[in-house]
Amino acid sequence: MTNPTEGPGADRLREVAEAATRAFSVLPARPDEMAPAPSGGGRVAARRLHTDPDTVERDLVKLVLTLVELLRQLMERQALRRVDEGGLTEEQEERLGLTLMLLHDRMAELCDQYGLTLADLNLDLGPLGTLLPP
């Protein structure tokens, strides 16, 4: 068995580990670690989730489509990597390209159906930036 910290994927593995470390370092502190509120009250106001019964379906669809778009983009990057490596036949490359185009078109249709754009699916993750690349 090979050591995952050595070899061609080692740099990528370290890059992913460093990104995970950065992501976890921005997690909110536990309640007992939080500084008192500026008003001097000693308690931090809890954040509340505001839900609107009129938009809950659209918001849920937006979340699901965001996850699907993230997976679609990851699949696309993996496919491009495989094409660049030259490990696919011309027929496989053609089929892969057609499938990715159809997936993109279907995502656009679903967004239109719910009054969303693909840009609406790009969640802002605060200090980490946006979820999807531009």
Give the pLDDT of residue 17: 67
Give the pLDDT of residue 1: 45
Q: Which residue has the higher pLDDT, 3 or 12?
A: 12
pLDDT of residue 7 exceeding 80, the answer is no
Q: Which two tokens stand for residue 84?
A: 């660049």
Give the pLDDT of residue 46: 45
pLDDT band at 23 (very low <50, low <70, confident <90, very high): low
Give the pLDDT of residue 106: 92
The SS3 call for residue 124 is: strand
Give the pLDDT of residue 105: 92
Give the pLDDT of residue 41: 47
Q: What is the mean pLDDT of the chain?
A: 75
User: Range with the lowest mean pLDDT among 51-55, 64-68, 106-110, 124-128?
Assistant: 51-55
Can you say whether the dihedral through the CA atoms of 4, 9, 10, 12 is positive or negative? negative
CA 112 centroid distance within chain: 20
Axis crossing angle, helix 56-85 with helix 90-113, rounded to the nearest 10: 170
Mean pLDDT of 19-48: 52
pLDDT band at 42 (very low <50, low <70, confident <90, very high): very low
